[in-house]
Structures are given as C-alpha cells and as structure tokens.
Amino acid sequence: MDLERIKDILKNEPAFRMKQSYKAVFSDLADDWASVSVLPLPLREKLSEEAPLSIKAEINEAKDKKSAKAAIDLGDVWVETVLMKHKDGRNTVCVSTQAGCKMACDFCLTGKMGFKRNLDHQEIIIQVLFFARYLKKSGQRVSNVVFMGMGEPLDNYEEVIKAVRSLNDPETFNIGARKISVSTVGLVDGINKLSSEPLQINLAVSLHAPNDKLRNKLMPISRLYPIKGLMKAISNYIKRTKRKVMIEYIMLSGINDSQSAAKELAELLKKELGELFTVNLIAYNQTGKYEASKAKDVKKFKDILESSGIEVVQRYKFGRDIKAACGQLAGEIK
C-alpha cells in the first residue's frame, strides 16, 4: 500500500474525494478500493490498479490468542510488528521503525541482525493499519501504539515524528498522543529534540544497568552517551514536558539483578530524576547468551526500589511462543 501514490492520484480530484478516501482507508479500514462505493467507478479502478490497498504480510498468532506477530513485506525488506491484547480491553501495536538496528544491544536478536535501512512514516503506520484491519474482524480497534519493535526510533527521528502525527491525526487513526509511547536506548540528542516537540507522547528509556561499566557491556551505544549525560537529558525532558518517563530495566540473571545493583539504581534515579518516573522491570526472553532473572531475585530487586519510594511496574509477558516478546524480533517468520 502506497499512501503517497493515493494522495498523488487524488490531488486532481475535488477535495472531498481525499476526505472520502481517507475515511475509507483509516476509519472504515477498507482493504480493497472496489468496496469503497462512495467513489466513482473509474476512480476506484484507477486506485485499484495504481495504489492497491493490500498489505502483504504473514501472521503468526500466539496459542493464547493474546498476541500476534506479523511480518510485513515492504518490497526490499520484511519488518515485524506485534499486537498485544490486554485484559482491560486495550489493544497495543508495537511497531518497528527500522529494518534491523545499528545499536547492537547484547541481549537483543534484532541487534544481531545488523542494520538494513530506516522505514519511512508510511511504512510505520502500515503496521498499525494491518492490525487495525485484523482487529476489525472481531469488532475491536487499536487503542495504543508503542515504538518498541525493530530499530531505534530516535535514530530515525523525522519519520517517527511524522508517523506519530499521523497516528494522532483525527483524519486518520485518531489515537490520543498519551496512548503513544516512544522508546529509546538513550540517544541524548534525540531526547533533547523530543522534549521541545508539542506532543504529549510517552517516553521510555532503556537503561538496563545502574552504571556505565555494566551498561557499556550490555549496550555499546552507552559509550557514546554515558549515564550522566543521559540522566541530564531525561531530567530536562521531565522538566520541560512535565511528563512521567518510563525507565526500562531488563532483568538478566547474575548480570544486573543483584541487590547492590538495585540500591545503586535507586540512588541514581532518585538523585538525578526526582519523582516523575516509573521503573519497568522487564522479564528477559531467552535468546541465547543470558538467562532471565529468578522470580525471587526480581522480587528482592523490586522491593529495594519500592522501599526507596520508586514506582515499579512489571510488564506482562506477551508472545513468548511466537517470539514476539521484547528483543526477539529478528525476521524469523521469513
């Protein structure tokens, strides 16, 4: 599906045709121009031929039906996108922003793939559209979008912001900015830029270690952006936006899950960020080198953070059987 081509075809038509077409694509979620009877037949035929609405993809549903992973064919590359169906009725789509990733985090399968290319904003929103159509069959809709799939969103800043605006646009998906989250490994320049955008989106920062020595081992990008500068950027972001930041921390057995690491983390975050943040303890999904922390160690870690007055959440584990969980997107469907 090529949104630019659709716009191009419609630019010589009366303005209301664009409105009708957008409604058909984003609100009625048509997957074929033939069904868009509000448009005249010759225009439908032209659109069908030159800008078909089909999205070529392969889908893999988890056994418990709570999540699904799709591999979407973008012509030269395939990217993966994940749907998570929450108990409270929210349906979150996790989108990829790059084919592969340059950041090479040591615990992540995508990082091992290397980098192929950035996705443009259309290629990002097509992933949401794919699952919007999928959910429509059961009378549901996409309620939240997280930019946490393949790639580092702030390394593809302009296209990610365009995609966010498009998701937020009442004429397209109309998803509230507060229901959109962007995650980063901690690209300081990108965080600074994001802090001045007039957008009420959520920011998540993957920290994963309480000090540079350990973080350098897990996340090579940390050498370029040490923790001190990163904390300053997050703190400035909080001051400017007055929005709570999510600090992501993946729990790796015997690596970053000790009680002393928890104390060090609590001290660092309280000192540098004050109050307006939450820590998300992420369960690691076995991808080779590391092991997930034991439940008793996660509990001790969490207790230490909470006893320091830090709010802690633990993300529900989605999609393990389809390798759709955090750090497991690596083009395996193909």
Active site residue ranges:
80, 326
Q: How far is the CB of 110 from ligand SF4 (least distance, A)?
A: 4
When the beta carbons of 19 and 289 are compared against ligand SF4, the nearer one is: 289
When the beta carbons of 37 and 286 are compared against ligand SF4, the nearer one is: 286
What single-letter amino acid sits at 208? H
When the beta carbons of 47 and 330 are compared against ligand SF4, the nearer one is: 330
CA dihedral (226, 314, 325, 132) positive or negative: negative
Of 49, 47, 54, the closest CA to residue 11 belongs to: 47
What does the alpha-carbon distance between residue 175 and residue 168 come to, in Å, rounded to a whole number?
A: 5
End-to-end Cα distance, the chain: 20
Stretch 196-235: interaction string toward ligand SF4, x if CB under 6 A: ----------------------------------------
**Binding segment toward ligand SF4, per CB under 6 A, in 108-116, 268-276, 287-295, 315-323:** 108-116
Residue from 80, 120, 152, 248 that binds ligand SF4 (CB under 6 A)? 152
Is 252 an interacting residue with respect to ligand SF4 (CB under 6 A)? no
What does the alpha-carbon distance between residue 175 and residue 328 come to, in Å, rounded to a whole number?
A: 26
Stretch 309-328: interaction string toward ligand SF4, x if CB under 6 A: ------------------x-
Q: Specify burial of residue 296 (Cβ count, 10 A radius: 0-12, 13-18, 19+).
A: exposed
Which residue in the block uniquely carries the two structure tokens 């984003």? 26
Q: How far is the CB of 218 from ligand SF4 (least distance, A)?
A: 9
Size of the site for ligand SF4 (CB under 6 A): 12
Q: Which two tokens stand for residue 297?
A: 């160690």
When the beta carbons of 10 and 154 are compared against ligand SF4, the nearer one is: 154
Beta carbons within 8 Å of 124's beta carbon, 6+ residues apart: 95, 96, 97, 147, 159, 160, 163
As beta bridge partners, residue 241 has none
**Binding segment toward ligand SF4, per CB under 6 A, in 118-126, 147-155, 223-231, 261-269:** 147-155
**3-state DSSP of 218-261:** HCHHHHCCCHHHHHHHHHHHHHHHCCCEEEEEEEECCCCCCHHH
Stretch 160-189: interaction string toward ligand SF4, x if CB under 6 A: -------------------------x----
Is 190 an interacting residue with respect to ligand SF4 (CB under 6 A)? no
Is 108 an interacting residue with respect to ligand SF4 (CB under 6 A)? yes
The crossing angle, in degrees rounded to 10, of helices 3-10 and 41-50 is 150
Q: How far is the CB of 155 from ligand SF4 (least distance, A)?
A: 8
Q: Specify burial of residue 112 (Cβ count, 10 A radius: 0-12, 13-18, 19+).
A: middle
As beta bridge partners, residue 313 has 280
Q: How far is the CB of 148 from ligand SF4 (least distance, A)?
A: 8
Residues 8-27 that bind ligand SF4 (CB under 6 A): none
Q: How far is the CB of 124 from ligand SF4 (least distance, A)?
A: 14
Residues 64-103 that bind ligand SF4 (CB under 6 A): 101, 103
Determine how many CB atoms are found less than 10 A away from the CB of residue 307.
Answer: 11
| 3-state secondary structure at position 301 | helix
List contacts with ligand SF4 (CB under 6 A). Answer: 101, 103-105, 108, 110-111, 150-152, 185, 327
